[in-house]
Amino acid sequence: MRSAEERPWLILFVLFIAFVPATASLFLYSFAILPTAKDWGLTPFGAAVAGFTPMALSPLGGILFGIVSDRYGRRRALLSSILLSASSALLSGLSVGPYDFGLYRLLLGIGISGQWAVTMTLVGEVWPPDERGRAVATVQTSFPAGFIYASLIALGLAGGLSWRALLMLGALPATLAAPLAYFCIKESSLWLKDVYKTSAQRVPYREILSGGLLRYTVLGTLVMFIGAFGAWAVNPWIPTYLANLGIPAEKVPLLTLLIMVGAFIGYTVHGFISDRLGRKITFQLFFLGMAVALGSFGFIPSQTWFVRGAASLIPIVLMGVAVAFFLGYYSGYGTLLAELFPTRVRSRGMGFCYSVGGIGMALGPAATGYLSSLFGTGRAFMIVSIVFLIGSILIRLFPETMGKKL
C-alpha cells in the first residue's frame, strides 16, 4: 500500500474539499432557522434548539471514528465519516418535523466530529514539524470556505429557494469530495509502521484517560469546549444580529459572506504565526483578540449614537470581519492536539477532545438564543466574549509542542 506522504499537497486539497460540505451544512441552518420555525410552528429559539442541541451527542463521532482510525487505518475512517456527513445533510432537507430533523443533525454532528479527528491526525502525521501548523491551517480554512459557500447558497433563499433545498445543496460538494478521497488518499505510513505492525487493536481506549496522557486529554477537551462554545455562540446568530440591526433581509447573506472572508484569512494566518511563534502564544493572541472584537461587535452597533442606515454597513461589516478573523484559532486545534498524543492513540485522543469538547458547539447557539431573549443579541455577544478570556488563561497550562516530531 502506498503511503500518504507520496502526495502531501494533493492530500491537503482533497481534505479541504471534503470538509467544505460538512461545514457548509452546519452553517446553512443559520439561514434556515426562521423559515423552519415558521413551517413547524416553533419560535426561533425552539428551531435553534432543534437544529443544534442534538449535536451535543456528537462525541460519539470522535470516539467511534477515533477507534476505527487507530485500529483499521486513517483512510477507512475518513471515507466513512465523509459519507455519513453528506448523507445526513441530504436527509435533513427531507425531514418531516423537528424530531427526525434532530436525528439527522445528530448524525451530521457525529460525521463531522469523526471526520475532523481523522483529518487532523492524517495531516499531522504526514507533514514535517516546521510546516505542520500551516498545513493544518490550510485544511481548516475549509470551515470559513464552507461558511462562504453557505452564504452564497443562502442568497438563493431570498430568491425563492426553500429551506429544504438550501440544506440539501450544502451536501453538493461531497459528490466531488467522496470520489477524490477514495482515489487520492493513501494510508499514513506512520500508522502503517508504528501501529499496524504492533497490533493497535490491543491498545486500550482508556490509555488516553490515564497516566501522563490524562492531563493532555482534560486540557485538550476544556480548551476545545471553550473554542467550540464561543464560536458557535456567535456564528449561527450573525445573520439574525445583522437583521436586528435593521439591515434589509436581502442584504444579510451577502454581508455575512463578506464577514466570513475574514475567517478565511484568520484561519490561514493562524498556521503561519503558530509555526513561527509557537502554539501557545498564538492561541493566546487569537483568544484575546476574539474577546475584544466580539465585545466591540456586540456593544458598538447597538448604541444610540452609532450611525444608522447605509452609512453603518461598512463599520458593521469591518467589526464582523475582525470577529471572524480571530475565529482562526480553530485552525490551531489540529496541530496542538496531534502533537500531544502518541501515534497509537492519536486519533482516539484527538477525537475525544474534539468531540467531548465539541459539546460546546451544541450549547453555544442555545446559550446565545437564551441570552438574546433576555438582553438582546448584542449584549449576548458581549457576555460570550468573557469565555475567550478564560481560554487565554487556560492555554497557558499546555506544554509548548512547536517543532515536535511525531
Closest CA to 107 of 54, 53, 67: 54
Residue 406 included in any domain: no
pLDDT mean over 372-385: 91
Q: What is the CATH number of the domain that holds 213?
A: 1.20.1250.20
pLDDT at 1: 39
> Tens of pLDDT along 127-140?
777 777 888 888 88
Classify residue 26 as exposed, middle or buried by CB count within 10 Å of its CB (0-12, 13-18, 19+): buried
- The structural domain count of the chain equals 1
Position 3 confidence tier, pLDDT thresholds 50, 70, 90? very low
Looking at every residue in the chain, the average pLDDT score rounds to: 82
State residue 55's pLDDT score: 66
> 307: phi > 0 → left, psi -120 to 50 → alpha, else beta; which?
beta
Is residue 2 domain-resident? Answer: no
Q: Taking 60 as the threshold, does the pLDDT of residue 199 lie above it?
A: no
Q: Is residue 357 part of a domain?
A: yes
CA atoms within 13 A on the CB side of 52: 33
Asked if residue 82 belongs to a domain, the reply is yes
Residue 199 within a domain: yes
* Enclosing domain of residue 125: 8-397
CB atoms within 10 A of CB 29: 25
| Cross-strand partners of 187 | 3
Only one residue has cell 440591526, namely: 245
* Cell matching residue 364: 453555544
| Distance, CA of 57 to CA of 43 (rounded, Å) | 23
Maximum average pLDDT range among 11-15, 138-142, 390-394: 390-394
Residue 159's pLDDT band (boundaries 50, 70, 90)?
low
Decide if 405 is inside a domain. Answer: no
Computed on alpha carbons and rounded to an integer, the radius of gyration of the chain in Å comes to 20
H or E element at residue 136: helix 132-140
In a domain, 307, yes or no: yes
1 lies in a domain?
no
**Does pLDDT of 267 surpass 80?**
yes
Pair 262, 319: CB distance under 8 Å: no
Q: What is the pTM of this model?
A: 0.73
